[in-house]
Structure 1
Amino acid sequence: MTTTVQTRDGRALEVHEEGDPQGLPVIVHHGTPMSGLPYAPHVELAREQGIRLIGYDRPGYGGSARAPGRVVADCVRDVADIADALDLERFATWGVSGGGPHALACAALCDGRRTATASLASVAPDEADGLDWLEGMGEENHVEFGKVLAGEEALRSYLEPEAEDVKNADPEQLAELMATLLGREDRAVLTGRFAAYMIECDRHGLGPGIDGWLDDDLAFAEPWDFDIAEIATPVLLLHGEDDRFVPVSHGRWLAERIPDVDARIHAADGHLTLLERRMREVNEWLLSHS
């Protein structure tokens, strides 16, 4: 079920609900670009495990209005507005890749309704001490984040043709566009139903244009407006050792600084494989900590 939530500042957020309507509400922060559309196997698991799965399109993606100049921590207000609109007395949350920082912002700043957080393959802050932010990333990400440093105009000029390529890709073309980002395990899962889901998500998220993608990238390079070290509630952190989108060094940096963290570094995983293989594990952890 897809609905629209009005934020406190008058923007529209598109929200996607699936799973068990009586289960634990879990708000999902999608990757970059992507969108909040649910993945069918995640919906099946949610029904089986007692999860009310709530995805939403971040501002500028899909059916959600843009919020120019947003920072990572701004998502906390949007999540609170979603929780208010859906009358949630409690909820857990998880985020993957570019959604990871937004989930961690909720861990640090959300009100007492949020019970537990899972971070899957999250990037670390751009100003992370002792971390070479780009080391180990595939060439596509090196180029993209080089454009971030060059400014919004340069980034927009780069992302617009990239978005058209992504939206028009079939599964084989999508794998080729991501070639330097895909290790062996990620290449193996980027087929069939999962590849079709990624294409559907990108087409929905990028349908209105590249503003959401652009604003995500700019936000990652700015202060996130919260302190990782002040997270006071449990966090599950998952990362794959063969991740070329967000190298495992990011996960290790975060794990060393989040106070109450259950860090699980999986040698057999990359980046995309976490969504394909680890959701039962994530749901079990969230249920046990909520």
Structure 2
Amino acid sequence: MNLGRRGSRGEIALTQLVVAPDGRRLAVEQRGEPDGHAVFLLHGTPGSRVGPSPRATVLYRLGIRLITFDRPGYGRSDRLEGRRVADVAADVVTIADALGVGRFAVVGRSGGAPHALACAALLPDRLTRAAALVALAPREAEGLDWFDGMTESNVVEYRLALAGPGAVAARLTRAAEQIRADPASKVAGLFREVPESDRRVVADHGIRRLLVRNFAEGLRESTDGWVDDVLAFSGPWGFDPAEIRVPTLLWHGENDVFSPVGHSRWLGGRIPAATLRIQRGMAHFGAFGVLPEVLLWLVRT
């Protein structure tokens, strides 16, 4: 089933509903060069398939076929209750097979980054390269002070995860209701938490418009995806980053307060032959600006 929409930049996009083996529907979009290098872009938390990404003209120029999808419980994708980070790999394979994609690269930003690492660890025969931008490390990461440098709102969410799904759902349901009533309020609220470099990024009218659309679509019907992401990050991921053997790029803004830079430093020491890039003077939303460069790295042969 295909559902058409017009993007905020005037681009026409088709949302395709792919059915997983267990009957769940996964909402998928493709943009860029249809015959180009296939790259999956995994969205943040909360987020959706319509999150910020390069313009279609940029993707054509780079020769990239960009594939995005709503993780279970977000947007138009059905929920997979109790999912682990590792479970994304099966959904990515389902989508790739449905689209006739053999080998591909994957990049995840923020909440999408651990999921990109799951694909890197669990799909070595399908993946060419992987990138994780402003990633979180596993909650049980040995030697890492997981909350050091993290903004208070995220600390509260992840600590609530230890109390169980009900506590997380109660907090995030209230937040989601406010976002559905006024999606711009989520973006405006970011200014109170982020460093100056991120404020400059979010102050851009185009970025703000994309973020508003992203949050509104991701939380259009429920908070399930957001709740399940927080629970998945806080529990066992279902794989060890040390298992990753495909070329992997880790990028992090040094001043990030949502996923502190220590997380990527830990991952860089855990993943064999990982390339770690820490950008001074940048923070969480600096990942938007470096994405075209990362995409070029992903399709390098």
Which residue in the other structure is 2:195 paired with?
183
Post-superposition shift, 1:143? 1.6
Give distance in 2, aligned partners of 1:67 and 1:185.
36
The reply to whether residue 284 of structure 1 matches residue 301 of structure 2 is no
User: Does the 8 A contact of 1:140 with 1:180 survive in 2?
Assistant: no
The reply to whether residue 70 of structure 1 matches residue 83 of structure 2 is yes
The code of the aligned residue for 2:194 comes to L
Question: What secondary structure is seen at the aligned counterpart in 2 of 1:239?
Answer: strand
Question: What secondary structure is seen at the aligned counterpart in 2 of 1:41?
Answer: coil
Give distance in 1, aligned partners of 2:55 and 2:236.
32
The C-alpha deviation readout for 1:50-103, integer Å capped at 9, x for no partner, is: 000000000000010000010010011000100110011211100011111100
Give distance in 1, aligned partners of 2:298 and 2:41.
12
Which residue in the other structure is 1:94 paired with?
107
Which residue in the other structure is 1:210 paired with?
223
Which residue in the other structure is 2:25 paired with?
12
Residue number among 208, 214, 222 corresponding to 2:235 in the alignment: 222
The C-alpha deviation readout for 1:181-236, integer Å capped at 9, x for no partner, is: 31111111113111111110111110111000000100011111111111011001
The reply to whether residue 106 of structure 1 matches residue 119 of structure 2 is yes
User: Does the 8 A contact of 2:245 with 2:272 survive in 1?
Assistant: yes
The C-alpha deviation readout for 1:100-142, integer Å capped at 9, x for no partner, is: 1100000000151211101000100000011111111111111
User: Does the 8 A contact of 1:39 with 1:197 survive in 2?
Assistant: yes
User: Does the 8 A contact of 1:94 with 1:100 survive in 2?
Assistant: yes
User: Does the 8 A contact of 2:124 with 2:246 survive in 1?
Assistant: no
Identity of aligned residues (%): 44
How do 1:221-260 and structure 2 match up within 5 A?
A: 221-260=234-273
Normalized against structure 2, the TM-score is what?
Answer: 0.92
Residue number among 30, 34, 52 corresponding to 1:39 in the alignment: 52
Structure 1 stretches of 5 or more lacking a match? none
Normalized against structure 1, the TM-score is what?
Answer: 0.95
* Count of residues in Structure 1 that have an aligned counterpart in Structure 2: 287
Runs of at least 4 residues of structure 1 off by over 6 A?
A: none
Post-superposition shift, 1:165? 2.2
Which residue in the other structure is 2:8 paired with?
none
Which residue in the other structure is 2:36 paired with?
23
The reply to whether residue 149 of structure 1 matches residue 123 of structure 2 is no
Question: What secondary structure is seen at the aligned counterpart in 2 of 1:15?
Answer: strand
User: Does the 8 A contact of 2:150 with 2:260 survive in 1?
Assistant: yes
Give distance in 2, aligned partners of 1:91 and 1:40.
18
Question: What secondary structure is seen at the aligned counterpart in 2 of 1:118?
Answer: strand
The code of the aligned residue for 2:96 comes to A
Question: What secondary structure is seen at the aligned counterpart in 1 of 2:232?
Answer: helix
The C-alpha deviation readout for 1:133-167, integer Å capped at 9, x for no partner, is: 11111111112112212211111110011112233
Post-superposition shift, 1:273? 1.6
Give distance in 1, aligned partners of 2:254 and 2:62.
28
User: Does the 8 A contact of 1:42 with 1:279 survive in 2?
Assistant: no
The code of the aligned residue for 2:260 comes to P
Question: What secondary structure is seen at the aligned counterpart in 1 of 2:158?
Answer: helix
Which residue in the other structure is 2:6 paired with?
none
